Amino acid sequence: MQNLETDRLILRAWEQDDADFAFDLYSRWEVQRFIGNPAQIMTARSQAVERILAWRQMDHPVHAVWAVQLKATGQLAGALLLKSIPASGGSVPLQPSGDTEIGWHFHPDHWGHGYASEAAAAVLEYAFDNGLEEVVAVTAPTNLASQKVCERIGMRHTGQTSRYYNSLCELFVVTAAS
C-alpha cells in the first residue's frame, strides 16, 4: 500500500505494534457508538491484533486502511479507511455492493484539530489519482461530527439510504469529476 503525507500527518500501513492503540481506540463507546449494526466495542486486545492482520491482508489495487500518525509527536491519532462497502441483504457476511466507501475512526484525544478531515482529503485525492470514479460515505443520521467531515472534504449529501449495511444511513457522494 502507498503511504500518504499531509502537512501534519503521515498515513501508513498498520503494524502489529499498533495493537495497543487500536484496542484503546475500538474499546471506547464514544468511538464505536455509531459504527456497526449493532454497534459494539472491542473487549480483548486479540481483536485488535486480528483487525490489524485483516487490514494488512487487504488485497486490492487501491483500497487500503491507513494508520494516521501525527508528524509532530509520532503519536497515532486514528484510522482512515478506503474499502468496499457491503450491500444490505439477507446473507451473512453481507455481500459487496461494488461501491467504495471512505471512513474515519479517530481517538477522542485527537478530535477537534481537523486531523480526520486532513487525512480524508488526502485519501480522496489518492483514490481519484488511482482510478476510482466515485467514493461514498455513510453515517448514522445522528453522527453530526462525521457528517461535518464529509462536508469539509467536499462530499455531497444525497439524503438517506438503506442500500448498505442493513441500516438507514445518511449518504454522501463525491465523484472524480467534481
The site for ligand COA (CB under 6 A) is made up of 31, 34-35, 103-106, 111-117, 139, 143, 145-146, 148-149, 152
| Cell numbers placing 151 | 462536508
C-beta of 174: minimal distance to ligand COA in Å?
A: 15
| Cell numbers placing 59 | 488485497
User: Which residue in the shown chain puts its C-beta closest to ligand COA?
Assistant: 114
Element (DSSP H or E) covering residue 161: strand 156-161
| Cell numbers placing 173 | 457522494
- Between 21 and 115, name the residue whose CB sits nearer to ligand COA: 115
- Between 30 and 133, name the residue whose CB sits nearer to ligand COA: 30
- Between 147 and 177, name the residue whose CB sits nearer to ligand COA: 147
C-beta of 32: minimal distance to ligand COA in Å?
A: 7
Amino acid at 23: F
C-beta of 20: minimal distance to ligand COA in Å?
A: 18
| Cell numbers placing 57 | 491482508
Give Cα 115 to chain centroid, integer Å.
Answer: 13
| Cell numbers placing 117 | 478531515
Backbone angles phi, psi at 72, to 5 degrees: -65, -35
- Between 61 and 103, name the residue whose CB sits nearer to ligand COA: 103
